[in-house]
Amino acid sequence: MKRVPPKTVKRKAKPRSTKKTLTPGKILRYSLALLVVSFLVAMAYNYRHGLLYYLGFKSNKRIEALGKKEERKITDLRIYEIVSRHKDKVFGIDVSHYQGEIDWDSVHKGSNDFPLKFIFIRATAGKNSLDRRFKTNWQKAREYGFLCGAYHYYRPNENSVQQADNFIKNVTLKKGDLPPVLDIEQIPSKQSIDSLKSGLKRWLDKVERHYGMKPVIYSGESFYTDFLREEFKGYDLWIANYSFFDDEIRPEWLFWQFTDRAVIKGIKGDVDVNIFNGSQHQLKSRCKR
């Protein structure tokens, strides 16, 4: 008898799920993407005044193009954002022979973007160097009614007393002038950090005795934090900090040099811009009496 093979019953295949499984890798990528988007949104809001400037809401203002166009825009965005946040403060610039011949009439007329009230001018450097444009800049800045201050560029491998003598010999401060400034930015190559600190104190002490005014210390934020903060706590600070992520002057800074790339009418090339941490009246109260 011939056997008939049993019939096979075909089972219907279960429909595949359309749901996508989120693997740990995908979750990480989505989280990072969300974090980046959130960061960009936060930055856009934080710098909304500068962004509005470039989106055309302030079309009556123009900036001279310097360097690469996009880099210039980023720089100016930060500058205008910081300016918008410090309308109650006082703005000024610092200059030296690197700015060349300055058209002081144009600087004086200025623009509403930078209501300049004070000028710091490099006077001397090291033990025997006089800035070749100091006398002209000093005279002109005074003639145009700016509050004026002189600063000395300290050379860490040269004698500190001779450097103080160089500054004193070339700078005469009158009533209404800002305090003298010691600019220190470099570590020494021929002496220790402790010797540098001792030399800085000798310069500061001698200059203070001569003018009857406590000098201001200028330095980069990192340099001051790493080498000067502990020993020079009693001095007013003028700090250079150009970080894109800093947009408010700190309480411990008397002056903040927030950019070295501003465009000022009457001056060729980039210029440092500074904020005084107070009002015009408070700035005048710190001047020589």
Catalytic hit among 71, 185, 231, 252: 185
4: DSSP letter: P
| pLDDT reported for residue 43 | 52
Position 77 in a domain: no
| pLDDT reported for residue 281 | 97
| pLDDT reported for residue 81 | 93
**Rg of the chain (C-alpha set):** 29
| pLDDT reported for residue 54 | 40
Position 194 in a domain: yes
**The token pair that represents 89 in the structure block:** 């403060």
Distance between CA 32 and CA 36 in Å, rounded?
6
Reported as a single tens digit per residue, the pLDDT across 120-129 is 999 999 999 9
Known catalytic residue at 143:
no
**The token pair that represents 191 in the structure block:** 């002496």
| H or E stretch covering 216 | strand 216-220
Position 127 in a domain: yes
* Enclosing domain of residue 270: 89-284
| pLDDT reported for residue 73 | 84
Question: Rounded to the nearest 5°, which phi and psi values hold at 262?
Answer: -80, 160
| pLDDT reported for residue 22 | 62
Supply the DSSP string of 85-152, one letter for each residue.
Answer: H-TTSEEEEEE-GGG-S--HHHHHH-BTTB-EEEEEEEEEETTTEE-TTHHHHHHHHHHTT-EEEEEE
Position 239 in a domain: yes
**The token pair that represents 10 in the structure block:** 């075909």
Position 289 in a domain: no
Distance between CA 87 and CA 283 in Å, rounded?
15
For the entire predicted model, the pTM comes to 0.78
Reported as a single tens digit per residue, the pLDDT across 156-205 is 999 999 999 999 999 999 999 999 999 999 999 999 999 999 999 999 99
Strand 90-95 vs strand 237-240: parallel, antiparallel, or unpaired? unpaired
- The CATH number assigned to the domain holding 276 equals 3.20.20.80
Position 269 in a domain: yes
Position 35 in a domain: no
Domain count, the chain: 1
Task: Give every residue of the chain whose pLDDT is below 70, as ranges.
Answer: 1-22, 24-27, 30-31, 33-34, 36-68, 111-112
Distance between CA 71 and CA 58 in Å, rounded?
20
Cα Dmax for the chain:
132
Position 213 in a domain: yes
Distance between CA 229 and CA 225 in Å, rounded?
5
Question: Rounded to the nearest 5°, which phi and psi values hold at 258?
Answer: -95, -10
Q: Which residue has the tokens 């340099």?
A: 223
Minimal CA–CA distance to 182: which of 160, 209, 157?
160
| H or E stretch covering 195 | helix 193-211
